[in-house]
Amino acid sequence: MSHLLPPRNLSANSGLWRYYLYDREIQMADHSEASRLIRAQALMSDLSGRGRDPEIAAIALLVQRTLDGDRAAFQQVVLRYDRRVMQLAKRLMGTVEDAEEAMQEVFLRAFRFLHRFDPERPFEPWLVRLTVNVCRDLARKRGTRDRTFSEMRDSDREASDGAGDPHADLVDHQRRRDLWKALDRLPPRERTAIVLRDLEGYSTAEVASILKLSESTVRSQISRARLRIRNAIERMGRSER
Q: SS in 3 state form for the chain?
A: CHHHCCCCCCCHHHCHHHHCHHHCCCCCCCCHHHHHHHHHHHHHHHHHCCCCCHHHHHHHHHHHHHHCCCHHHHHHHHHHHHHHHHHHHHHHHCCHHHHHHHHHHHHHHHHHCHHHCCCCCCHHHHHHHHHHHHHHHHHHHHCHHHCCCHHHHHHHCCCCCCCCCHHHHHHHHHHHHHHHHHHHCCCHHHHHHHHHHHHCCCCHHHHHHHHCCCHHHHHHHHHHHHHHHHHHHHHHHHHCC
Mean pLDDT of 225-237: 89
Kindly report, residue by residue over 127-165, the tens digit of the pLDDT: 999 999 999 999 888 765 444 444 444 444 443 344 455
Sketch out the chain's domains with CATH numbers. 2-146 (1.10.1740.10), 157-239 (1.10.10.10)
The whole-chain average pLDDT of the chain stands at 76
At residue 56, does pLDDT exceed 80? Answer: yes
Instruction: Tell me which of 21-25, 32-36, 233-237 is least confident.
Output: 21-25
Report the predicted TM-score, pTM, of the whole model to 2 decimal places: 0.69
